[in-house]
Structure 1
Amino acid sequence: MEEQLPHARAGREKEFARCVLPEMEMLLRAAMTLTTRTDHAEELVRDTLQNAYRAFDRFDGHQPRPWLLTLMHHAHADNRHGRGPGPVIGTDPGPGPSPTLVSAPPAESLAVGKTFHEEVDAALAALPDKYRQVVHLVDVDGLSYVEAGELLGLSEATVTTRLRRARRRIRVRMAAAGLVPGRGER
């Protein structure tokens, strides 16, 4: 019986790695959207992974992304309500690097220019937190509306509405800066 335990544990760890490792980059991007500080994002990912490992026996092995995002949502909610570390988005990030909206390849940077990127960053920064979060999760991190909603504790319809309003605000600001056509100019 004792020989089966290490073998079973090794199988469990291998299966955990198979399900979780492909989602690590997405988890870190989502955590950065929620916390805005690298150290807090890493801590949120660590909490999520610890919770995932503890609950892995109850996971069916299908669709690890929604499962992990749900665990991250709960870990973030615990952190926000004083049951763990990490700030909520909108708090002063303090010293350290802050995420940017656009990290364009050199060819795109040459074609679009520095002004465009600065204006996009400014337009995103000007959004209220509730809009900035959905833009970042859906348009930057590539999560589906459902996944973003699960992570933020919102319905898909609320994510859709917030995303539509955020994109409209960004488009208006970009048009005012003369960087995209205004309504009817296309």
Structure 2
Amino acid sequence: MDDFQTGLVELLPRLRRFARILRPHDADAQDLVQQTVERALASRRGFKTGTRLDSWTFTIMRRIAIDDGRARQRWGRVLTPEDEATARVPDAAQADEGLRADARLVRDAIHALPEDQKHAVALVLVEGLSYAEAAQVLGVPAGTLTSRLVRGRQTLMQTLAEQGVTG
């Protein structure tokens, strides 16, 4: 191991401690540490000698946590929307319960899609990228992306209709 790798290994206890602050659940904190170390190793050319390795890796960890938090919020807004229908239901708690149940079914249906369709659906329908942007991210022609998206939407609509999820 070189000095950089040795420094990362020595930082692991501190990284774990910081991760537990950012992610209260132990498994999430461990995942965050792993992502941080992976990104640090992949980005080591960006590390400047003389810079503090701990500050550099903590910055990486914080950015990963922020990005993950934003992604979770987007998924939460997409998969557990509040709408006018909620206000018309006499018992809002029951409405929220129904929405959460539907959201879980939608989430599970998305996760059950083949990888190529799942990625197309996630980038266009969840993340809001244009077809051209999503095609570029996936490294495929726009027509291929469109085909994957159409098949993914059809599968989602069929799966959700079979499970009684409407609208």
Instruction: Using structure 1 for the length normalisation, give the TM-score.
Output: 0.43
Q: Larger Rg: 1 or 2?
A: 2
When you count helix as a share of all residues, which structure comes out higher? 2
Instruction: For CA contacts below 8 A with separation 6 or more, give which structure has more relative contact order.
Output: 1
